[in-house]
Structure 1
Amino acid sequence: MSAVEALYIFDESNTPLLEHTYTGRPPPGSTVLPLYLSHPEPRPSLIYLPNTNPPTLLYSILQDQLLFLSPCSQDVEPLQVLEFLHRVADALEDFLGSPLLASKIEGSYDVVAQLLSEMVDGGVISCTEPNALRDVVEAPSFIKNLLGGVGIPSSTPSSLTPSATPFSLSSRPSIPRPNSNNNTASPVPWRRANVRHTSNELYVDIVETLHVTIAPSGRPLSAIAYGTIAFTAKVSGVPDLILQLGCPGGISSTISLPVFHPCVRLKSWQERPGHMSFVPPDGRFVLAGYEVDLLGPAALDSFSTTVKGNAAPKLNIPATASILTSLGPTGADFEVRLTLNPRFAGKLPSPSPSTIGSRGGAGLGRGIGSLGGASFGSSQGTTAAPSIEDLTVHIPLPASVKNITDLRITKGPGEAAYAPGDRSIEWRLSHKQISTLMAQDRGSGLGVLALLRGTVTGPADADADADADDADNPLNPHSSSLSNPYDYTDDSTAVPSSYQSVSPSLAPLASHHKDDRSVLLRKKNKVLMPSGVSVSFSVKGWLPSGVKVESLSVDAKRSKGLGAGVQPYKGVKYLGVSRRGVEGRC
């Protein structure tokens, strides 16, 4: 059964860049594009088009403002087509460079044609690994494109020749493969054959993204960390590697929902969790991904009414924020409280030759990474002393807010940015400002507090509506009943009073009315209050889950072509980030 019938690529202006038909007679791009754009944003990645003949399912992704569309008139697995579109975008980035631009596709049309023809054969997805594609597709070269542009023959046809048709590819081009005369093919599908490197290096980068939700009481409602293990292999031959992960609570009880690159031997992980045996692709790739519940399996039990409040799960994260609303006499003020964890104060490093990784050494370190807990020289953040960098507090505002007046930082450093009409306030603190603030309360150990305060202003007619409600109130000194010149009071019943004073019998009512007006203003300002606050930051040398690389070794018995006695240089980096992921709710 055919899975992919055609592929259409459009630029940021919805101008067609390429149309490649694999099988059948799918509707052209000029037909499916208006039907796709007719759906309101945000558009789903799968849209059913019943008005086409035959009815068609349209798959779509956006990559670097380029639109990838693939129509399919048959019943296929949706994830298969969507994954293919992502693989196409990744392959184009690998060959043409990132970011993926329309000019790059137009300037290297011959390479794009080869890639699309190799990735799908007659509608069936065949080869999508970038390393395997490099064995059969020649990467673009500036000199070759220049020679082809001036009419001098090159190894690949130029996109400027009349025979090239950049907007339609209905047949497979007959382009000679660069390794067609080479009988030696790689035994590993995801690795190129005859890989040679003058420098043998292995790098591991583990990045964990925080998603934390905190209740107004300060109790964490959810805390999830999504981890990605990026691996870079620049080793000659076919190396067989062993990567061992560890964490305080054990890998099997910490990591959930792991996903792996096809190069990982699943049996080794199943038998020994945390043990990954694999033959890596050449270059940089994503080795694995995982998810960690930072609250633990007993998090739901802690929300029971029988559990005491001090037994709630504790989180050790760099920064949290909370917000107090409806402050002030009219309830128009709010206050944001930013709390910094003193554990992430960091320290100034003292670099020495013994702490800097050297080429050919057995140590594993690349600036901030370590094995066994040893840290390496870095200007900011180490595994022994992580530090917060580039912290931003984001306060979203309701659409009815017209302005923020008296926005000020009452305690702590930073810059608060807001312009009338913006839908959010951003409070930024640089690494230097955070270090200075941390140094002031380094010995307390209770956390560092910074405060931001502001006043919301609603629509211009909000106060006018409140005054209009009071215009007919007889207790209002400016109401019509008291200012009517035809009203009079009999001298015999008049109560002596001063000019424009309110009768003593009406004084309690006037006070009551004043309280009602204050309550009314508070209700109107309450809908203008922010509903939450989020924090963004990055911390080098620290992971929320505590996962670390315990060892990275080369299996000499299984490896081929590495050379006897060669010890690759190894390095590890840890990075914990929050992209508005730590959220405090009102």
Structure 2
Amino acid sequence: MSAIEALYIFDEHNTPLLEHTYIGRPPASSTLLPLYLAHADPRPSLIYLPDTNPPTLLYSIIQDQLLLLCPCSSDTEPLQVLEFLHRVADVLEDFLGSPLLASKIEASYDVVAQLLNEMVDGGIIACTEPNALRDVVDAPNFIKSLLGGVGLPSSTPSSLTPSAASFSLAGRPSPRLGPANTAPVSSTVPWRRANVRHTSNEMYVDIVETLEVTMSPSGRPLSAIANGTIAFTAKVSGVPDLILQLACPGGIQNAVSLPVFHPCVRLNRWKERPGELSFVPPDGRFVLAGYEVDLLGPAALDSFSTSATVKSLPKINIPATVSVHPSLGPSGSDFEVTLQLNPRFIGKSSHPGPGSGPKGGLGRGMSAPGFSSSGTTASPAIEEMVVHVPLPASVKSIADLRVLRGNGDAGYAPGDESIEWRISSKEIALLMSQDRGGGVGATATLRGTVIGEEEDSSELEPVSFSASTYDYNEDSPSKADKPRTKPQSTDNKRNKVLMPSCATLSFSVKGWLASGIKVESLNLDQKRSKGLGGGVTPYKGVKYMCVSRRGVEARC
């Protein structure tokens, strides 16, 4: 079993914020930090330090620019220690608020010390669930005020017990926050607080997928992976027992791979009935599960080597694709970036507003006729789209950067590493409205000219001197008297090196998931649930979102 010897936290300037020792005499933070910084970026999460006494394994994570280090001098389970560091960061965010800042830790050293003592006992990881920690650790004052304002308990049950009462110098007990006969109450479920009460019982499911797609120069998808996260928010009194049913075209068991679950999920139920999640949720918002989906399918690799026609190649249905066409123009110094929008993602239809008819055109600040920026499950809509075009380091500037077809703002300044082309949701709606149909979708094009560094004298053609003489004739100059011109092929070769080699897309789509996964039902098991009250039906809501942060990449 892994033993946690110490925990060190540093701020963004590598100044020590906290040193908490659990067992033994581990190396000090002043010794470990220089050894950690001696490694070049990106620094690994696990570093072996043989020069320390004794030799130490140093685990590290970075959370909101804060550095967390954990030294171990004995054999440990690496994943367990790294998971512990992530749990520490999550618990501190839950108690102190997100993002995790150095000032928050400095203002709540007492709370942080209590949390670290409860999470590890004698070097052994004990309790890392935020809900369970709230039963034994008081939240900071500003968090108490926040919880009280939204109807949640602002004090933990441990602070309401007689044992928590303190005595004044006169020997009289101080005023208590609860009745004298209150007994300590602990939850039977490790990840859920005891005596949870809510005035409004609500449950929300948010499924967010991140899209990673790589396209070949011919437009064929080489890789397409969707990583999903199921975030659950439970604001239900008592101890609810829930059943969440997921569905997917082709079956969950065939689509989902590498699933991960919160400890509250009953794994045997998932194995017996894939797609069914049975669990008792923690109170509040938490990550219920995560998964990965290969959008090309398991037979994609075989089709790449056996398919001879374009129609037989695997296809994916994504909101937009991008392609780069380099070495255009007489000298090969121009390039074009083409954005192709999927006509399916047009958003929710709405009635045209005043001034949005064919005669009035599209006014400034108004949405396109027949379109709105909000997306639904039936009509998903693309939010703001950003196209990034990385440039080689030898590119000095971009001349005549313009949008030939479509809308959007393309930005570039001399010295930038990439071109950023932004298209807002309103401009996307306008492009969709101008599409003439046919199922092709709208198209937008960006064009520019690359300018490289100044030519070096070494790159110029050598000049040879000869002892021969030539007759001078002013009326008919000889061939040697004509000015030399650089061959056009030389410019083409030089400009080819300056061309962009790929482009990436960033966007978000509401109401749509690339994997096709959806929530079939969310039910409350009345027989297993306790403390909710008869006849109470919690409100249920489901949202879907697909996000790409430079995830769709097209190579050329």
Q: What is the CA-CA distance between 1:143 and the residue it aligns to?
A: 10
Letter in 1 for 2:27: P
Match of 1:583 in 2: 553
Q: Is 1:290 matched with 2:291?
A: yes
Rounded Cα–Cα distance in structure 1 between residues aligned with 2:455 and 2:183: 79
Match of 1:317 in 2: 318
Q: Is 1:254 matched with 2:245?
A: no
Q: Is 1:30 matched with 2:27?
A: no
Match of 2:423 in 1: 429
Q: What is the CA-CA distance between 1:305 and the residue it aligns to?
A: 4.1
Match of 1:502 in 2: 479
Is the Cα contact below 8 Å between 2:307 and 2:313 reproduced in 1?
A: no
Match of 2:534 in 1: 564
Deviations 1:47-96 (A, max 9, x none): 11111100111111000110000111011011111110000000000000
Rounded Cα–Cα distance in structure 1 between residues aligned with 2:541 and 2:144: 36
1:110-509 equivalent positions in 2, closer than 5 A: 110-142=110-142, 182-349=183-350, 380-441=374-435, 443-461=437-455, 465-466=458-459, 468-469=460-461, 472=463, 487-489=469-471, 498-500=475-477, 502=479
SS of the aligned residue for 1:385 comes to coil
Distance 1:143 1:24, change over 3 A: closer
Match of 1:354 in 2: none
Q: What is the CA-CA distance between 1:309 and the residue it aligns to?
A: 2.2
Q: Is 1:523 matched with 2:514?
A: no
Rounded Cα–Cα distance in structure 1 between residues aligned with 2:372 and 2:204: 17
Letter in 2 for 1:115: L
Partner of residue 547 from structure 1, selected from 493, 497, 517: 517
Output the TM-score relative to the length of structure 1. 0.83
What percentage of residue pairs aligned between the two structures are identical? 71
Match of 1:69 in 2: 69
Rounded Cα–Cα distance in structure 1 between residues aligned with 2:412 and 2:182: 64
Rounded Cα–Cα distance in structure 2 between residues aligned with 1:412 and 1:379: 18
Output the TM-score relative to the length of structure 2. 0.87
Deviations 1:384-434 (A, max 9, x none): 111111100010111111111111111110000111001011000000000
Match of 1:362 in 2: none
Match of 2:152 in 1: none
Is the Cα contact below 8 Å between 1:349 and 1:379 reproduced in 2?
A: no
SS of the aligned residue for 1:135 comes to coil
Deviations 1:15-56 (A, max 9, x none): 111000000000010110111111111111111111110011
Q: What is the CA-CA distance between 1:308 and the residue it aligns to?
A: 2.2
Rounded Cα–Cα distance in structure 2 between residues aligned with 1:214 and 1:144: 50
Letter in 2 for 1:502: K
Q: What is the CA-CA distance between 1:300 and the residue it aligns to?
A: 1.2
Match of 1:59 in 2: 59
Rounded Cα–Cα distance in structure 1 between residues aligned with 2:69 and 2:261: 27
Q: Is 1:535 matched with 2:536?
A: no
SS of the aligned residue for 2:115 comes to helix
Q: What is the CA-CA distance between 1:128 and the residue it aligns to?
A: 0.2
Distance 1:303 1:144, change over 3 A: closer
Q: What is the CA-CA distance between 1:347 and the residue it aligns to?
A: 2.9
Rounded Cα–Cα distance in structure 2 between residues aligned with 1:429 and 1:378: 15
Rounded Cα–Cα distance in structure 1 between residues aligned with 2:289 and 2:219: 33
Distance 1:567 1:306, change over 3 A: closer
Q: What is the CA-CA distance between 1:250 and the residue it aligns to?
A: 1.1
Letter in 1 for 2:547: V
Match of 2:80 in 1: 80
Distance 1:383 1:423, change over 3 A: same
Rounded Cα–Cα distance in structure 1 between residues aligned with 2:423 and 2:143: 47
Is the Cα contact below 8 Å between 2:49 and 2:55 reproduced in 1?
A: yes
Deviations 1:469-513 (A, max 9, x none): 1x516xxxxxx66xx9x9442xxxx8x77454527xx99xx9xx9
Rounded Cα–Cα distance in structure 1 between residues aligned with 2:127 and 2:379: 45
Is the Cα contact below 8 Å between 1:345 and 1:435 reproduced in 2?
A: yes
Is the Cα contact below 8 Å between 1:348 and 1:380 reproduced in 2?
A: no
Q: What is the CA-CA distance between 1:306 and the residue it aligns to?
A: 4.9
Rounded Cα–Cα distance in structure 1 between residues aligned with 2:549 and 2:307: 35
Q: Is 1:92 matched with 2:105?
A: no
Letter in 2 for 1:138: D
Is the Cα contact below 8 Å between 1:342 and 1:442 reproduced in 2?
A: no
Rounded Cα–Cα distance in structure 2 between residues aligned with 1:344 and 1:387: 5
Distance 1:441 1:2, change over 3 A: closer
